[in-house]
Amino acid sequence: MKPSVTVSNFSSGFGPIMFSGADRSFEQNIRKLQEYGFQAVEIFTDRLTEDRALRMRETLDRCNMSVSMVIFIYLAEMGVNLSLRSEKARLQAVRTYADQFRFARGLGAQRVPLGLIRGMRSEDDPILDYYSRLADSARILTDAAAEHGLTVCLEPINRYEANTLLSVSEAVQFLGDYDLPRMKILADFFHMNIEDVDLCQTLKNAGGAIGHVHASDSNRLSPGMGNLDYAVLMDALRAIRYDGYLTLECLHSGSPDADAKKGLAHLRKFI
């Protein structure tokens, strides 16, 4: 298992990006993270151009930095929504997202998420109708992603931020019910701690469906700064032979630099 940490290439207000572009440039952050011992980052990005993506790639290469995942957060912020009821608008949203996959691949990622971009379900929208539209979008995205060597990971998100697919258990069921074997699950310990009954058992039940992990603590600070038992969580991931990234997608308690170092040190005790 390989540690990674969230960084953005613009000044984003989205909470759990440890290194937003507010105080330092992307290049300065990447250099700092290399100095702290990170070998991978997870990039929250705004709109990219070929040229900008190329310059980011050069920066990453200079610092021997891999990319665990690229999250096109600006799309969700713009309201791009993969479960829209208008089929035309939904398919347009799917295309808009799929068009970004070449950048994720160009930056060296192997994973892209399906998180907030799935859109909220409105009260008068039957859940099975919502699921079947989302599954159709997911299927198209999974195929488009595969053409770039990417895997799409569905992220269960807690009830205060989303209103469908809150828990990992529900996501496992969804992938089975709608026959989406190539889609994986992004297990975020913060969301799981709110929604799943038993984190370790849930991870074990999900098994090979776990394709990516967001590793924060119970309070969404860095691992070791809350109540989660990382020793048993890492044992559970080892039991399912998870060999991917553990990304510090965390809030910080004042200093992202100090908290990222603490989080990395805590992960290293167990991996």
Binding site residues, ligand LER, CB under 6 A? 71, 113, 115-116, 155, 157, 161, 188, 214, 249
CA-to-CA distance for 40 and 122, rounded, in angstroms? 37
**Beta carbon of residue 4, minimum distance to ligand LER (angstroms, whole number):** 12
Q: Which of residues 121-140 bind Mn ion (CB under 5 A)?
A: none
- Locate all alpha helices (DSSP H) within the chain, ordered by sequence: 26-36, 50-62, 73-78, 87-98, 101-106, 127-147, 168-177, 189-195, 199-206, 230-239, 256-270
Q: For residues 3 and 113, which CB has a smaller minimum distance to ligand LER in the complex?
A: 113
Q: For residues 16 and 59, which CB has a smaller minimum distance to Mn ion in the complex?
A: 16
How many Cα atoms are found within 13 Å in the side-chain-facing hemisphere of 30?
Answer: 22
Phi/psi of residue 114, each to 5°?
Answer: -125, 90
Partner from Mn ion, ligand LER, none binding residue 211, C-beta < 5-8 Å depending on class: none
In sequence order, the 6+-apart residues with CB closer than 8 A to the CB of 270 are 230, 231, 233, 234
Among 6, 118, 188, 234, binds Mn ion (CB under 5 A): 188
**Beta carbon of residue 244, minimum distance to Mn ion (angstroms, whole number):** 14
Is 170 assigned a catalytic role? no
Partner from Mn ion, ligand LER, none binding residue 42, C-beta < 5-8 Å depending on class: none
With CA atoms as reference, report the closest residue to 69 among 252, 248, 255, 216. Answer: 248
Q: For residues 71 and 109, which CB has a smaller minimum distance to ligand LER in the complex?
A: 71
User: Token pair for residue 271?
Assistant: 């991996």
Is 35 assigned a catalytic role? no
Q: For residues 121 and 269, which CB has a smaller minimum distance to ligand LER in the complex?
A: 121
Return residues touching Mn ion (CB under 5 A).
Answer: 188, 214, 249
Catalytic (active-site) positions = 155, 249
